């Protein structure tokens, strides 16, 4: 079942990529050497050189903040189960408006202190 979903998603992505590629290529060919052609070339080079995993995470963040879209019901894992569990917990906390899950950065401060102690202990030995 999961392979069918992956195949369907890949096929849809391929169709969308072909459609926009042909459309943008045609516009750039018709308006060759114009300001529109140069602007589209710069924009497309920017997106081509951007890592896809970073673009995907930024789109998820943007859509979750501004379009109120939450990917918590998605059937996939991002960089391992622990990372997906953290993202799932984060989105559920936002969706359910649970104030007890807000981060006061105390855990990050504690982690920094533990790392500092480990570094000091390593230098001492």
Q: Which residues contact 28 (CB under 8 A, 6 or more apart)?
A: 36, 37, 40, 41
Mean confidence (pLDDT) of the chain = 78
pLDDT the model gives residue 63: 78
Residue 35's pLDDT band (cuts 50, 70, 90): very high
pLDDT computed for residue 72 by the predictor:
53
The string of pLDDT tens digits covering residues 59-91 is 877 877 776 666 555 444 444 555 566 667 777
Report how far residue 47's alpha carbon sits from residue 23's, in angstroms, rounded to the nearest whole number: 16
106-114 — which CB contacts under 8 Å span 24+ positions? none
* 86 against 51, higher pLDDT: 51
Q: How many of the other CB atoms lie within 10 Å of CB of 87?
A: 19
pLDDT of residue 79: 44
Round to whole Å and give the CA distance between 60 and 52.
Answer: 12
């Amino acid at each position: 079942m999961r392979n069918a979903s992956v195949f369907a998603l890949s096929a849809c992505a391929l169709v969308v990529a072909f459609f926009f590629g042909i459309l943008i290529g045609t516009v750039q060919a018709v308006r060759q050497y114009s300001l529109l052609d140069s602007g589209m070339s710069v924009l497309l080079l920017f997106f081509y050189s951007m890592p896809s995993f970073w673009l995907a995470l930024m789109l998820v963040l943007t859509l979750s903040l501004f379009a109120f879209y939450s990917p918590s019901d998605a059937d996939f894992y991002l960089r391992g189960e622990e990372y997906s569990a953290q993202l799932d917990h984060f989105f559920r906390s936002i969706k359910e408006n649970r104030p007890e899950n807000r981060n006061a950065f105390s855990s990050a401060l504690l982690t920094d202190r533990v790392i500092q102690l480990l570094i000091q202990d390593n230098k001492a030995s």
